[in-house]
Structure 1
Amino acid sequence: MPLESNARIVRELAGRGYNAEREAVTLLANEPDPATAIDAAVDKAPDDALRITADHVRAVTKNRSRDSAEVSDRSTRSGDNSTGTDVSTDRSPVETGGSPSESDRAGGTGRSQTSGAERRSETPRSGNSPASHSPSDSAQREISVGNDMTGHSTGTGEYADFVRTFRDRYERLSKLLRGRVNHRPAEAIADMPGGSDAAMIGLVNDVRSTKSGHWLVELEDTTGTFPALIMKDKGLADVVDEILLDECLAVEGTLADDSGILFADSLHFPDVPRTHQTGAADRHVQAALISDVHVGSDEFMADAWSRFTDWLHTPEAEPVEYILLAGDMVEGVGVYPNQDEELEIVDIYEQYEVFAEHLKEVPGDTEIVMIPGNHDAVRLAEPQPGFNDEIRKIMDVHDAQIVSNPATVTVEGVDVLMYHGVSLDEVIAELPEEKASYDEPHKAMYQLLKKRHVAPQFGGHTRVAPEERDYLVIEDVPDVFHTGHVHKLGWGKYHNVLAVNSGCWQAQTDFQKSVNIDPDAGYAPILDLDTLDMTVRKFT
């Protein structure tokens, strides 16, 4: 069987239970008889090997070359001058910039830029043509994970656990605000004389409008609660409509004559400093930011995924040494009503087995980090721990790092906050459309950065598990904020933090039609870790 492309070589190896390093695939593709070379490499690999390496291929091709040289010498003497050929048919996908335009969604190649997003690079930077990976390149790889709570869950669901979680939230977020206001505890403000200037930091206990069109915001700290009145003529209306319950705020103002209420002059969110300085890799290296693969759904776009993995084996993609996958590897079972009618695979373990087969198509020397999502086989309450040992064993062929949702992944000096994104539904439902919408999901992400918490509102769509600490607090400012979940593509910068929602690999389901979700499927944002420039590639 002739194997005329890297992609077919990868699939042949995957069918035999192996993934492979890019260099190994290239060596096999350059062989006069790739099929025979694959047989020899597989035979050469140790019984417990999960990956075909360049060394495995070199070991057999060296012997084959020696044998071929002897045969060639004999053939030359006998007049046989036949030679083998190598045919490569790698395809490059359409390249897009900004959020997808209507023509993109319809299958076109138009480009449009989302409002509020900084202009991104749409073409590979000049002077950075990909070079072959070398041992020194691999030696420069550096990846670490922070805020991973896998194996460290302590919550029992008792009332005291929730108190600990919210106390930790308050303490850590209030520290970010204390340098901006001269705050006092609620009980101390209650004892201050009327007319005094005062400031309080607290979690939002309640927000409601008055008959006169003003807003009453009740803040709670560890000593009690105190109300703040925001007058409609104070110019704070644009800020008030961003407030969510349970988030941490600072309010400055003047106490009423009877000291029973604080007339607000200003509001402060924990926010990201405008002067945030980002990290960068010291070499040209890239990471693919993807999410929501949904293997097991009858709408999983296997062809688009294959085009993506085919491209990863081309010279153009050699700088892509990392893949960061933000949840929903599989479609899951029983996630929404009548989901079984839209499943191609009805067994959750089989879904992960098939996902692992598709993962084999990714170059074996690619570093992969993944977090779970709400369709995955973990608890729904956030933070979500990484998969259990049984599911990890199913996916061990690629040796991916599987960490909790959320988690901070530092890749060669660039801090990437990975969060699946369930709370984006809540933010989009609660805030005005111009500040948060499904068509521009990165704007909803800006709000989470502003609040320094990935799921500030408790008791709504987002389930929160009580732990000794609140793992959902964004204590350290990331360089990149990567989410999924909403199946929409969008990106932009907020105070120098790149926010990316990476779309999905699932075509529109009947359920999505019923809730008016038109997914952006088959896109792969490719991030330059040395510059934080980003190119979005389309594989549909």
Structure 2
Amino acid sequence: MPLETPSRVVQALAGRGYNAEREAVTLIADAEAPGAALEAAIETAPDGALVLTREHVRTALADAPAADPDAVATGGEPDGSVPEPATDASAGSADDASAAPTPAGPKGPPSAGGTDPSVSGGTAASTPGGSAAAVPVETEGSSSVGDRDPAAPDVANDVTGQSTGTGEYGEFVRVFRDRYDRLSGQLRGRVNHRPAEAIQGMPGGSEAELIGLVNDVRSTASGHWLVELEDTTGTFPCLVMKDRDIADLVDELLLDECIAVQGTLADDAGIMFVDAIHFPDVPRTYRPSTADREVEAALISDVHVGSREFMADAWHRFADWLHTEEAERVEYLLIAGDMVEGVGVYPNQDEELDVVDIYDQYERFAEYLKEVPGDMEIVMIPGNHDAVRLAEPQPGFDEELRDIMSAHDPQITGNPSTVDVEGVNVLMYHGVSLDEVIAELPAEKASYDEPHKAMYQLLKKRHVAPQYGGHTRIAPEEKDYLVMDEVPDVFHTGHVHKLGWGKYHNVLAVNSGCWQAQTEFQKSVNIDPDAGFAPILELDTLDMTVRKFT
């Protein structure tokens, strides 16, 4: 048996219920008898330990007698190698993890449209989503060196443990008033707002400026646009003429978003002729923060463990790569929802499940998570397939699910949440509202093939789910957790299973694809997923490389 790969060591440890630091895996894989080294390290670890550290392995190797190459190690093979771990039908073998034929080349600019030229891609290969992607990563025989020591990210705007909403009418009024107060505050520096009630009393021909939530948008018989805005005092109609340059902006409007308008009142003062429309938006002068050291984060989403189409082989390759020298700087893993496939999410889903019990799905996901190096920091938020409420904001997983996933001690927070990673402000949002944005806006402004453009619209509106009453369910809380008070440095979403990224006013928007091949349901709704990709973000430069593991 040849020298063990880190992937086989990780899988063997996971089968025994252990996670491991990367250097611990390296020491075992490079030992003369990896199987014996693994057993000795487990014996050395204290009772109750879930993470095997480099100190455990070093102590075990220092205390172990010289290996007899002809002896059969306990739990090992005749040559002392690590035995092949038991897997189910959905899991790929360690040999499968080495099937990628070519190592990733140096970073270069994306070759396909729809991405910002300042964001690096892996090679010139392009995906259906219009974003460049790296060629498959070779992991067989790769070596691991060094050690990670990441700081725990700080989390803000997390509804977990703070939810008080009961669904009463008054609570919805409160949350929309909070939305208006906070977003109108972002617009007041650009317009001299007068309340709708006050504008109604102004004389005809007066100049007026109003901030309000979009209450209605409709076209007139002449093809002009009538936009009704509502503030805390009432509503007022605003007419956008079809031959004005700003008419194109009407196509971007969603109900319930907050905008400002400037214009002139008609002679009878019953309507405003709009000259300008303003969104809360990201200032064009915005400059993102960066880390003060060379460190990277992997951004993934939509793992969907429990589905028959979960790509176990690709996951093994990804986890194996994280143990290599090439991934030494990848110290953070940010997962934007849908850890598992869930149950009863869409019609006839039971016919596409490999694991039918939701808790068993999380048990399986926890085993795959153990393959990730134990010295990485993991942050995860839920998605619409996860076992949490569907209404947003979604609290993080309950204690029972947290216990299932406790081996790696991930930081579990709500959807959405703002995560400070080495000084870089990352807004993590699963992305259900992207369906709504893509359905409502013209294809050139938002599409599934270029999901980052739909994310640009949310940044422009400074709200991750502005429209109420459609696909996106909204829960009333003490405040509107979906407002972007602060401009993020990075906006990370998933949900649509498409890969796309770019920069909007210097904010990096990334939709990270998925780890699930096309299901029958996806075929029926014409979703062709971008699966097995891992965007790798350099936190000190905010440059990005996309690696492919299929």
Residue 303 of structure 2 is matched in structure 1 by 293
Work out the CA distance in 2 between the residues paired with 1:413 and 1:38.
37
Partner of residue 476 from structure 1, selected from 486, 489, 494: 486
Q: Does 1:31 align with 2:41?
A: no
Residue 508 of structure 2 is matched in structure 1 by 498
The letter of the residue matching 2:45 is A
Work out the CA distance in 2 between the residues paired with 1:440 and 1:84.
50
CA drift at 1:98: 11
Work out the CA distance in 1 between the residues paired with 2:2 and 2:251.
63
CA drift at 1:68: 2.9
Work out the CA distance in 2 between the residues paired with 1:473 and 1:7.
41
Deviations 1:423-446 (A, max 9, x none): 000000000000000000000000
Q: Secondary structure at the match of 2:151?
A: coil
Residue 91 of structure 2 is matched in structure 1 by none
Deviations 1:358-413 (A, max 9, x none): 00100011100000000000000000000000000000011001100000011001
Partner of residue 68 from structure 1, selected from 62, 66, 69: 66
Are the counterparts in 1 of residues 110 and 117 from structure 2 also a CA contact under 8 Å?
A: no
Work out the CA distance in 2 between the residues paired with 1:84 and 1:7.
16
For structure 1, which segment, 114-123 or 376-385, has the greater mean C-alpha deviation from structure 2 after superposition?
114-123
Deviations 1:21-57 (A, max 9, x none): 0010111112111100100111111121111000100
CA drift at 1:143: 1.3
CA drift at 1:236: 1.4
Work out the CA distance in 1 between the residues paired with 2:367 and 2:111.
35
Work out the CA distance in 1 between the residues paired with 2:105 and 2:315.
17
Residue 356 of structure 1 is matched in structure 2 by 366
| TM-score normalised by structure 1 residue count | 0.90
**How many residues align structurally?**
508
Work out the CA distance in 1 between the residues paired with 2:343 and 2:282.
38
Q: Does 1:46 align with 2:59?
A: no
Higher helix share: 1
Q: Secondary structure at the match of 1:220?
A: strand
Are the counterparts in 2 of residues 97 and 113 from structure 1 also a CA contact under 8 Å?
A: no
Deviations 1:202-240 (A, max 9, x none): 000000000000000000011111110001112112111
Residue 140 of structure 2 is matched in structure 1 by none
Inter-CA distance 27–524: structure 2 relative to 1 (3 Å threshold)? same
Work out the CA distance in 2 between the residues paired with 1:252 and 1:96.
52
Q: Does 1:302 align with 2:315?
A: no
Deviations 1:235-272 (A, max 9, x none): 11211100000000101000111111111000000000
Q: Secondary structure at the match of 1:7?
A: helix
Aligned counterparts, 1:164-313, within 5 A? 164-313=174-323
Q: Does 1:19 align with 2:19?
A: yes
Work out the CA distance in 2 between the residues paired with 1:390 and 1:329.
15
| TM-score normalised by structure 2 residue count | 0.89
Are the counterparts in 2 of residues 297 and 345 from structure 1 also a CA contact under 8 Å?
A: yes
Partner of residue 394 from structure 2, selected from 384, 387, 393: 384
Q: Secondary structure at the match of 2:223?
A: coil
Deviations 1:62-116 (A, max 9, x none): 112xx339x99xxxxxxxxxx9999x998577649999xxxxxxxxxx9632335
Q: Does 1:320 align with 2:333?
A: no
Are the counterparts in 2 of residues 312 and 362 from structure 1 also a CA contact under 8 Å?
A: yes
CA drift at 1:141: 2.3
Inter-CA distance 142–344: structure 2 relative to 1 (3 Å threshold)? closer
The letter of the residue matching 2:17 is G
RMSD: 2.4
Work out the CA distance in 2 between the residues paired with 1:236 and 1:351.
50
CA drift at 1:472: 0.3
Are the counterparts in 2 of residues 97 and 535 from structure 1 also a CA contact under 8 Å?
A: no
Are the counterparts in 1 of residues 3 and 30 from structure 2 also a CA contact under 8 Å?
A: no
Residue 113 of structure 1 is matched in structure 2 by 112
Q: Does 1:133 align with 2:133?
A: no
CA drift at 1:120: 2.3
Work out the CA distance in 2 between the residues paired with 1:85 and 1:216.
73
Are the counterparts in 2 of residues 113 and 119 from structure 1 also a CA contact under 8 Å?
A: no
Are the counterparts in 1 of residues 4 and 81 from structure 2 also a CA contact under 8 Å?
A: no
Residue 76 of structure 1 is matched in structure 2 by none
Inter-CA distance 98–419: structure 2 relative to 1 (3 Å threshold)? farther
The letter of the residue matching 2:246 is L
Work out the CA distance in 2 between the residues paired with 1:384 and 1:85.
45
Work out the CA distance in 2 between the residues paired with 1:357 and 1:36.
22
The letter of the residue matching 2:429 is Y
Inter-CA distance 95–230: structure 2 relative to 1 (3 Å threshold)? farther
Are the counterparts in 1 of residues 204 and 268 from structure 2 also a CA contact under 8 Å?
A: yes
Q: Secondary structure at the match of 1:26?
A: helix
Residue 532 of structure 1 is matched in structure 2 by 542
Deviations 1:421-478 (A, max 9, x none): 0000000000000000000000000000000000000000000000110000011000
Runs of 5+ consecutive residues of structure 2 not aligned to the other structure: 70-78, 83-93, 124-142
Residue 429 of structure 1 is matched in structure 2 by 439
Work out the CA distance in 2 between the residues paired with 1:155 and 1:182.
34
Work out the CA distance in 2 between the residues paired with 1:479 and 1:42.
42
Work out the CA distance in 2 between the residues paired with 1:461 and 1:472.
15
Runs of 5+ consecutive residues of structure 1 not aligned to the other structure: 73-82, 100-109, 125-129
Q: Secondary structure at the match of 1:155?
A: coil
Partner of residue 422 from structure 2, selected from 412, 417, 426: 412
Inter-CA distance 358–512: structure 2 relative to 1 (3 Å threshold)? same
Q: Which runs of 4+ in 1 moved over 3 A?
A: 83-86, 88-99, 130-134
Residue 521 of structure 2 is matched in structure 1 by 511
Work out the CA distance in 1 between the residues paired with 2:500 and 2:106.
10
